[in-house]
Amino acid sequence: MTNLLINGKKHTLDVEPDMPLLWVIRDELGLTGTKYGCGVAQCGACTVLVDGAPVRSCSYPNSAAQGKHITTIEGLSPTASHPVQVAWKDLDVPQCGYCQSGQILAAAALLKRKPKPTDQDIDEAMTNICRCGSYRRIRAGIHQAAKTGLGIDSVIHMVSSTAVLSQGMKTGEDQQASCSGACQHEHDHGHDRTVQASLDASSASSPQTTPSRGFSSNCA
Amino acid sequence: MNTTTQAFTTLDETDSSSTSFLKKTATSRRSFLVSTSASVSALTLGFHVPSFAKEGSAAGAAVEVNAWVVIHPDDRCVIRIARAEMGQGSSTGLAQLVAEELECDWKKVSLEFITPGQNLARERVWKNMSTGGSRGIRESQEYVRQAGAAARMMLIQAAATQWGVPASDVSAKDGILHHESSKRSLHYGQVSAQAALLSPPDVKTIRLKNPKDWTIAGKPAKRLDTAHKVDGSLRYAIDHRAKDMLYAAIKASPVFEGKLKSFDATAILKKRGIKGVVKLDDNAIAVVADSWWRAKTALEEMPIVWDEANNGQVSSQSIAEHLKEGLTSDKNVFADTNVGQFDDAYAASAKKLEAVYSTPFVTHACMEPMNCTVLYTSERALAWVPSQNAEAALAALADGSGLPIEKCEAYNQTLGGGFGRRGGPQDYVRFAALVAKQNPGRPVKVLWSREEDMTHDYYRPIGQCLLQAGLDEQGNLKALHVRVSGQSINAYLAPHNIVGGKDRRQLQGYWPEPGDAQLGYTVPNLKIEYAMRNTHVPVGAWRGVNTNQNAIYLESFMEEVAHASGKDSLAFRQSMLKDHPQHLRVLNAVADKAGWGRTLPSGVFQGIAQFMGYGSYTAAVAEVSVKDGKVKVHRLVLATNSGHVVNTNQVAAQVEGSVAYAFDSLQSESSVLNGRIVETNFDKYKITRMVQLPKIETVLAPTFNFWGGVGEPTICVVAPAVINAIFRATGQPVRSLPLKNSGLELV
């Protein structure tokens, strides 16, 4: 019998000692937030915290976890209120989302160890694979959660449909086309802007709201 | 936030204990059929009179105003989505488009994914469910906006009737109907049941909003499906759970096209939890157990003998020789473009350049490996799938189970990545059906190991390209020849698309016709050819598909030509894009925003590229340094004109995300030895990691006069921009990918 303490709850299980912790968590206990990605500790989708440290549970026998505190994504916070989770929602970090349980736990462990991480700290700690390419927003999310002031989220340059570009060339066959709403600010139509789109949470439920935080207008 | 915590449901019955399931499904199917007969003509547009409204629905029930819009009495608005969500965010974008016309309160919008069985039963009221080719929004936008508008018109009519006023005097905004002169108002939820009884408006009477008046679409709305992705509660297909579920691990012949010769299950059948061994077709085998880990472990231990057919000696080297022959052969080759007289012009050129480029097979490596859970009985087959084309998954389920398609249903879940792997072939669904059929009455989750996933993909096709350029005395490009030799996706997956022996798809991005993937350059003597050279390795669509290789070939070679002509890389391209102002405009936009030619730190060089794919125009500038073979990309500026932009934030997310696959284009390779794929997992296959990602700036340059795709078109310009920067940094062109072939490594 294996005794495991997962998210503060004790479980007694009749499983082989070498069954990886991942499969105990997923298939025996039904906590499916922890994902299978590679089985060889390369991708980090299966990351859980063992006594607060990130562990790739696909390559970690459950017997080694006995007597330790295991935290899965379901146990990170009761209402998805961990600063990393909040930042992830705020910045729309996930795309498909499959790797994000592991990314979030790896990020949470990093912040516990290093409350104000540098980009280099992030590079070293965040080796989890994301195939959608959410890496930039993961980095921004960590900076935001840590309040390092270093995080730059997506930089979006808006080029107006009537802009005269490079070397004075008139560049469109569509000079008459009107800007139809892609710009966030009505008054910005007709000239270019640069937006650092750290979108305000309020815009999540109300896209009509002009985002008020994190935008800097930098007209070209 | 309430808007996101409950934002998302599928029409999935999570309790799959078979009897309750079948009962529920039968009931819902009956109601669909009733409703279908009610209004056949309306169905073609997705408008129909819901059955329960006619039968007299109980107070408090949600009401289907039309196939796309369901409104609750408390005004919560459910928008139905037919296209798959695999991270690209188009489900939120599609909802924005419906909501924009519906004039509902965006804060009260949630998503519901329809099933292919429902679509079939309702005569495809939701139309195409296939999600690939960056088509999710551009191909659905018109009819989903019309559906939103039609529902709004019906809600307005219902309020007008209740008030006894003309519909033209009633306005709708934020889910509230107003009668201005009498100051009366009603919420959508108060009239939706009455609205649902009305005949849908004739589509010809529907006037869609001018996008410049959009208030919900065109904005950087947050995704509606994020909350469940940060707390582990979103269930992907791989997470499906059901009572008495069995698990299966599978193994197909490691050598493609090989056959299963023999196996010995004696030992493993004695192991704990092992329920059986199942032969699949003549080329694969599965172990079924009470736990996936037990199944996989036993499968690895089981002695299996494969017949490698004649493919056991095939290697990357032998494939390269095969493709090389196609670069100069007259056999099985066709010219898609032949303008002017290339041969004469080239012969007469003051300066000639010739180069051969090559790109390898690469794998998708969706984070969620291939999987599918199937519950089979002699009466019914149900599948929980991650598919980019749920209707194709349904067909594969019918095929594998041997049941008529009407007796099958597929519950498509949010995909843990798609990238083209789950769009065409539904091999993982069919395999699961075959396993489940041999275990009737119990759901079986068939999960591929990463190794199985990575060695049995439909790879991005391998290719080589011979390029020849002839310049005049002034360094103008007068003659260009592009000969692609390589594998054909259509030949493997869709031979019917090859007309008269000409597979134009492999020349994506070089096409002369406007609209989708047009070549931007005007060259007076231009010959573009394709020599089909197939291998035994399966190939398919890999995010961006053939624009990836073709942009690398042409845009990297253009840099060599620009260099030889003594001209600036940007100016050289500009001079040849004058006939194609949309291509030129995006190139100029990226050059402006990147600061082309700006002073850079010592050792940092810029590279530029442009291309067109999926109806959108893209361009990139990369800033790169190379030291001791280590390539560091410091900054990427990526410009896109997709015509319209439905959600700026999500378009930016797709552009940023494109870099992961684009860097794979530079560094990854699935190589072949002894007929099989060498790189079996992430420890051997080089894959894009966070540390490699530079600062990324997105340039959105929409012109609002067409609908282009977003998920794919950016990928293809990134790799050539980086390659061109490497060329400027080192003076050595990179012609053979992955980068390690040139002694380079992306760090």
> Looking at residue B380, which CATH number applies to its domain?
3.30.365.10
What is the number of residues in chain A?
220
Q: Tell me whether B419 touches chain A (CB under 8 Å).
A: yes
> Does a structural domain hold residue B454?
no
Q: Tell me whether A139 touches chain B (CB under 8 Å).
A: yes
| Residue ending a domain, choose from B182, B201, B230 | B230
The answer to whether B481 touches B525, Cβ cutoff 8 Å, is: no
Interface test with B, best of A85, A123, A132 (most B CBs within 10 A): A132
Dihedral sign computed on CA atoms, order B144, B145, B151, B153: negative
> Does a structural domain hold residue B266?
yes
DSSP state of B68: T
In this structure, the answer to whether residues B610 and B705 fall within a common structural domain is yes
Is the confidence at residue A212, as pLDDT, over 70? no
End-to-end, the C-alpha distance of chain A in Å comes to: 67
How far apart are alpha carbons B612 and A101 in whole angstroms?
Answer: 35
| Residue ending a domain, choose from B171, B200, B230 | B230
Determine whether the interchain pair B233/A33 forms a contact, defined as Cβ–Cβ distance below 8 Å.
Answer: yes
Tell me which residue in A161, A205, A208 faces B703 most closely, judged by beta carbons.
A161
Determine whether the interchain pair A100/B229 forms a contact, defined as Cβ–Cβ distance below 8 Å.
Answer: yes
Determine whether the interchain pair B690/A132 forms a contact, defined as Cβ–Cβ distance below 8 Å.
Answer: no
In this structure, the answer to whether residues B19 and B64 fall within a common structural domain is yes
Per-residue model confidence (pLDDT) at position B39: 34
The C-alpha of B203 sits at a distance from chain A's nearest C-alpha, in angstroms, of 23
Helical spans, DSSP H, in B628-731:
648-667, 715-730
Q: Tell me whether B652 touches chain A (CB under 8 Å).
A: yes
How far apart are alpha carbons B448 and B435 in whole angstroms?
Answer: 13
In this structure, the answer to whether residues B556 and B502 fall within a common structural domain is yes
Per-block mean pLDDT, blocks of 10 residues, chain B (747 long): 34 32 31 32 39 46 97 97 98 98 98 98 97 95 98 98 98 98 98 97 96 95 97 98 97 98 98 97 97 98 96 98 98 98 98 98 98 98 98 98 98 98 96 98 98 98 98 97 98 94 97 98 98 98 98 98 97 98 97 97 98 98 98 98 96 97 98 98 98 96 96 98 98 98 98
**Cβ contacts of A127 on chain B, cutoff 8 Å:** 689-691
The answer to whether B722 touches B624, Cβ cutoff 8 Å, is: yes
Angle at CA of residue B524, ends B519 and B527, nearest 5°: 60
Tell me which residue in A26, A131, A207 faces B219 most closely, judged by beta carbons.
A207
Closest alpha carbon to A204 in B17, B731, B219: B219
The answer to whether B443 touches B242, Cβ cutoff 8 Å, is: yes
Task: Please give the residue of chain B at the shortest CA–CA distance from A184.
Answer: B219
Determine whether the interchain pair A182/B96 forms a contact, defined as Cβ–Cβ distance below 8 Å.
Answer: no
In this structure, the answer to whether residues B703 and B640 fall within a common structural domain is yes
Closest alpha carbon to A203 in A185, A217, A220, A188: A185
Q: Tell me whether A178 touches chain B (CB under 8 Å).
A: yes
> Does a structural domain hold residue B453?
no
Closest alpha carbon to B142 in B86, B206, B79: B206
Determine whether the interchain pair A122/B690 forms a contact, defined as Cβ–Cβ distance below 8 Å.
Answer: yes
The C-alpha of B34 sits at a distance from chain A's nearest C-alpha, in angstroms, of 36
Q: Tell me whether A98 touches chain B (CB under 8 Å).
A: yes
| Residue ending a domain, choose from B215, B230, B245 | B230
Per-residue model confidence (pLDDT) at position B46: 42
How far apart are alpha carbons B45 and B487 in whole angstroms?
Answer: 39
**Residue B108 corresponds to which tokens in the numbers above?**
């009260």
How far apart are alpha carbons B77 and B82 in whole angstroms?
Answer: 16
In this structure, the answer to whether residues B538 and B478 fall within a common structural domain is yes
The C-alpha of B143 sits at a distance from chain A's nearest C-alpha, in angstroms, of 19
In this structure, the answer to whether residues B443 and B497 fall within a common structural domain is no
Chain A / chain B CB contacts < 8 angstroms: 324
Tell me which residue in B226, B231, B701 faces A74 most closely, judged by beta carbons.
B231
The C-alpha of A166 sits at a distance from chain B's nearest C-alpha, in angstroms, of 5
How far apart are alpha carbons B738 and B747 in whole angstroms?
Answer: 14
Q: What radius of gyration do chain B's Cα atoms show?
A: 28
Interface test with A, best of B649, B654, B684, B691 (most A CBs within 10 A): B649
How far apart are alpha carbons A165 and B207 in whole angstroms?
Answer: 34
Helical spans, DSSP H, in B285-387:
292-301, 316-328, 342-347
Q: Tell me whether B299 touches chain A (CB under 8 Å).
A: no
Per-residue model confidence (pLDDT) at position B309: 86
Query: Chain A window 114-133: which residues touch B at a Cβ cutoff of 8 Å?
Result: 122-123, 126-133
**Cβ contacts of A169 on chain B, cutoff 8 Å:** 574, 584, 588
**Residue A100 corresponds to which tokens in the numbers above?**
């994000």
Domain with B374 in it = 237-307+370-447
**What 3-state DSSP class applies to B22?**
helix
The helix or strand, by DSSP H or E, that contains position B148, with its residue range, turns out to be: helix B141-163
- Rounded to 5 degrees, what are φ and ψ at B423? -95, -50
In this structure, the answer to whether residues B629 and B570 fall within a common structural domain is yes
How far apart are alpha carbons B227 and B8 in whole angstroms?
Answer: 10
Q: What is the b/e burial string over B273-288, where b = at least 16 CB atoms within 10 angstroms of the residue's CB?
A: bbbbbbebeebbbbbb
**Cβ contacts of A46 on chain B, cutoff 8 Å:** none
In this structure, the answer to whether residues B223 and B263 fall within a common structural domain is no
How far apart are alpha carbons B446 and A74 in whole angstroms?
Answer: 25
The answer to whether B709 touches B135, Cβ cutoff 8 Å, is: yes
**What 3-state DSSP class applies to A140?**
helix
Tokens 């061109």: give the residue: B724
Task: Please give the residue of chain A at the shortest CA–CA distance from B593.
Answer: A157
CB atoms within 10 A of CB B306: 21
Question: What number of helices (H) and strands (E) belong to chain A?
Answer: 6, 7
Determine whether the interchain pair B214/A45 forms a contact, defined as Cβ–Cβ distance below 8 Å.
Answer: no
Q: Tell me whether B222 touches chain A (CB under 8 Å).
A: yes
Task: Please give the residue of chain A at the shortest CA–CA distance from B96.
Answer: A207
Determine whether the interchain pair B683/A204 forms a contact, defined as Cβ–Cβ distance below 8 Å.
Answer: no
Q: How far is CA B41 from CA B44, B146, B201, B465, in A?
A: 6, 15, 11, 51
Count how many domains chain B has: 3
How far apart are alpha carbons B77 and B70 in whole angstroms?
Answer: 6
All structural domains of chain A, each given as residue ranges with its CATH number in brackets, are: 2-75 (3.10.20.30), 83-146 (1.10.150.120), 155-164+187-220 (no CATH)
Determine whether the interchain pair A169/B584 forms a contact, defined as Cβ–Cβ distance below 8 Å.
Answer: yes
**Under 8 Å CB-to-CB from B598, ≥6 apart: which residues?**
none
Q: Tell me whether A215 touches chain B (CB under 8 Å).
A: no
Q: Which residues is B643 bridged to in the sheet?
A: B707
How far apart are alpha carbons B677 and B329 in whole angstroms?
Answer: 28
The answer to whether A216 touches A154, Cβ cutoff 8 Å, is: no
Query: Chain B window 253-292: which residues touch A at a Cβ cutoff of 8 Å?
Result: 272, 291-292
Per-residue model confidence (pLDDT) at position B492: 95
Tell me which residue in A37, A163, A180 faces B212 most closely, judged by beta carbons.
A180
The answer to whether A159 touches A194, Cβ cutoff 8 Å, is: no
The answer to whether A66 touches A94, Cβ cutoff 8 Å, is: no
pLDDT grade, residue A192 (50/70/90)? low
Interface test with B, best of A22, A143, A157 (most B CBs within 10 A): A157
Tokens 């408008």: give the residue: B47
Distance of CA A50 to the CA centre of its chain: 21
Per-residue model confidence (pLDDT) at position A151: 73
Determine whether the interchain pair A23/B414 forms a contact, defined as Cβ–Cβ distance below 8 Å.
Answer: no
Q: Tell me whether B369 touches chain A (CB under 8 Å).
A: yes
Per-residue model confidence (pLDDT) at position B31: 33
Q: Tell me whether A19 touches chain B (CB under 8 Å).
A: yes
Determine whether the interchain pair B574/A169 forms a contact, defined as Cβ–Cβ distance below 8 Å.
Answer: yes
How far apart are alpha carbons B114 and B82 in whole angstroms?
Answer: 6
Tell me which residue in B3, B234, B656 faces A204 most closely, judged by beta carbons.
B3
**Cβ contacts of B690 on chain A, cutoff 8 Å:** 122-123, 126-128, 130, 135, 138-139
Distance of CA B287 to the CA centre of its chain: 31
Determine whether the interchain pair B682/A129 forms a contact, defined as Cβ–Cβ distance below 8 Å.
Answer: yes
How far apart are alpha carbons B268 and B287 in whole angstroms?
Answer: 9
How far apart are alpha carbons B704 and B681 in whole angstroms?
Answer: 43
Asked which of A30-44, A156-170, B215-229, B407-421 is least confident by mean pLDDT, the reply is: A156-170
Determine whether the interchain pair A179/B212 forms a contact, defined as Cβ–Cβ distance below 8 Å.
Answer: yes
> Does a structural domain hold residue B501?
yes
Q: How many CA atoms lie within 13 A of B47 on its CB side?
A: 24
Closest alpha carbon to B658 in B717, B715, B726: B715
How far apart are alpha carbons A106 and A88 in whole angstroms?
Answer: 13
Per-residue model confidence (pLDDT) at position B207: 97
> Does a structural domain hold residue B612?
yes
Q: How far is CA B586 from CA A170, B266, B611, B714, B728, in A?
A: 12, 64, 9, 12, 22
In this structure, the answer to whether residues B252 and B339 fall within a common structural domain is no
Determine whether the interchain pair A40/B230 forms a contact, defined as Cβ–Cβ distance below 8 Å.
Answer: no
- Rounded to 5 degrees, what are φ and ψ at B551? -70, -40
In this structure, the answer to whether residues B481 and B355 fall within a common structural domain is yes
In this structure, the answer to whether residues B226 and B254 fall within a common structural domain is no
> Does a structural domain hold residue B164?
yes
Percent of chain B as helix, strand, coil, to the nearest 5 = 35, 25, 40
pLDDT grade, residue A194 (50/70/90)? low
Q: Tell me whether B96 touches chain A (CB under 8 Å).
A: yes
Tell me which residue in A32, A45, A159 faces B241 most closely, judged by beta carbons.
A32
- Rounded to 5 degrees, what are φ and ψ at B459? -75, 155
> Does a structural domain hold residue B646?
yes
| ipTM attached to this prediction | 0.93
Is the confidence at residue A54, as pLDDT, over 70? yes
What is the number of residues in chain B?
747
The helix or strand, by DSSP H or E, that contains position B260, with its residue range, turns out to be: strand B259-263
> Does a structural domain hold residue B87?
yes
In this structure, the answer to whether residues B685 and B645 fall within a common structural domain is yes
Q: Tell me whether B593 touches chain A (CB under 8 Å).
A: yes
DSSP state of B203: G
How far apart are alpha carbons B587 and B610 in whole angstroms?
Answer: 6
Dihedral angle over CA of B425, B427, B429, B435, nearest 10:
170
Determine whether the interchain pair B107/A205 forms a contact, defined as Cβ–Cβ distance below 8 Å.
Answer: yes
How far apart are alpha carbons B6 and B225 in whole angstroms?
Answer: 9
Tell me which residue in A16, A136, A220 faces B656 most closely, judged by beta carbons.
A136
The C-alpha of A67 sits at a distance from chain B's nearest C-alpha, in angstroms, of 23
**Under 8 Å CB-to-CB from A156, ≥6 apart: which residues?**
A194, A195, A196, A197, B648, B649, B652, B697, B698, B699, B700
Q: Tell me whether A12 touches chain B (CB under 8 Å).
A: no
- Rounded to 5 degrees, what are φ and ψ at B194? -70, -40
The answer to whether B357 touches B556, Cβ cutoff 8 Å, is: yes
